[in-house]
Structure 1
Amino acid sequence: MQLSIATALLACTAVRAFSDSSPFVLFSTTGLGPTPNDAQLQTNLQAIASAKEALSSCPTTRYIIVSQPNVHAADLRDRSGAGCNMPNLCRAIASDSVKGRFSVAEVIGQISSEPMKLFLTTNCKEKGKTATIERVELKHLPPVKEESKRAEILADNDHELGQLFETLTGDYTVILVSDPNEFKAYEPEFAEPVHMDLKRQSSDRPIFVGKRAGDSTDNRSLFEKYQFFTPGIFTAILALIIILSILTVGLKALASLEVSYGAFDKQNGPAAQKKQM
């Protein structure tokens, strides 16, 4: 009878569960506030709003937030729909000590445990109550296609919950959520391109970083600040020296010619000598 009550809390109105949904379970040893929405198919915002309304009075002094990533409502029911694949959890929900229950079989969207923990801390502090908030993280369930491995891990997680429930005393509230799972789509990563300069600085030469001309704190010498003889300037000076050398030799050759002015006179040329004969 207890298992049937717990299974009814987790039953889904739809025959086929949504692949992107997860169950939300909340039960407490004290009565909960009114829940404005008891539909078994809700968005994550609607489920969180209903849970906050139920816990608005900070009913207990101890809160256990159980995180079971990648869980679906179908994981908590057997194939017949009458049994429970997590008997320890179902027995805890149907226990006589539990006075308040709230569950949503299909929550569309992800519910993280951190915002719920922050709400409980802030809410109980505003009400002037001291509350202990614990977070229990269960092992991630593998993808749905790995059915046998998924059932094995789910059974181990239920056994861990059973050991936890045996230690609970006094007033407490348990919240079961499905945190974002660790199975993400593959996203390729590309390394940044490496830029290499064609000219590399020799490792045995010191590298000086130039500064602004107006920087008075630069105490380096003039030849360290500036580079006066670049390869281009050195090549131009060498070519200029060679050209000036050739020009100097040519001018000296022209200047060394010794020809009398009479050698170019027409009267003293060969034609004039023939006429005189």
Structure 2
Amino acid sequence: MSANVFNFDCNRLRKTVLDMAYAGSTVHIGCAFSIIEVLAVLHQRFLRYPENQPQHPMRDYLILSKGHGVMAQYACMRERGWLTDQDIAGYFSDGSHLKGLSDSRIAGLEVTSGSLGHGFSVGLGMALGAHRKKTDQKTYVIVGDGEINEGPIWEGALFASHHALKNFVVIVDENGFQAMGKTAEVLRLDSIADKFKAFGFEAVEADGHSMTELSVALTALLESTDSRPKALIARTVKGKGVSFMENDNRWHYSRLDAASYQRAIQEIAGSST
């Protein structure tokens, strides 16, 4: 576990996402909101970046396989000082280096993702490398529940189990939706934890919006002496934190106008009091 001087306040992170989405007139707000607490806990307590350097050779690896949720990671990168207020305000403007999907050319983003299912396998390669070098580096991969419809996820899961990559932790954002509808209607998953267990993972579940539950679950997995790779199923709400976005899949692709931006900002501000 990593001691951290940064304060990853989830309301502040959500406000940053809203600011970026409004400034850039861009989408994917709901899927960024569902992973805010997951990222906050990882950055606050678990991810190790020696000297706060995002490219330090002994860092832990954070792979955002659901790359369309990248605004949540940008918000955390701002808190760490890796991005400036100007970066946030200029999101998607001419000359901005920040993309709408995870891009490995930006320090703090390990892989270029957005083609779903691929980040999982890239993370496995990083975990295998650390395992063979006998370092204590951890690899955390965040995937969406809709994303695990992809076959490469399960091929990778077999690989992780075969190589006993206990330094590999997949975190599933189980918000019940994917781009085109409810996950249960597009391709039913049933128990995700049971599936990962069947593929040779040590798997636990937690409330994905409780930083306490997430921290307890991750601590248990990381301190386990079991040699299996790890899976945390985080039960989340798409659009969490803004009432008119919660469980409304239109906010996968909807853009903020002035009125909806102000309404959302007011809700975030009100929940801070």
Report the structure number with the largest CA radius of gyration: 1
TM-score by length of 1: 0.29
The structure whose residues are more often helix, as a share, is 2
Larger relative contact order (CA 8 Å, sep ≥ 6)? 1
TM-score by length of 2: 0.29
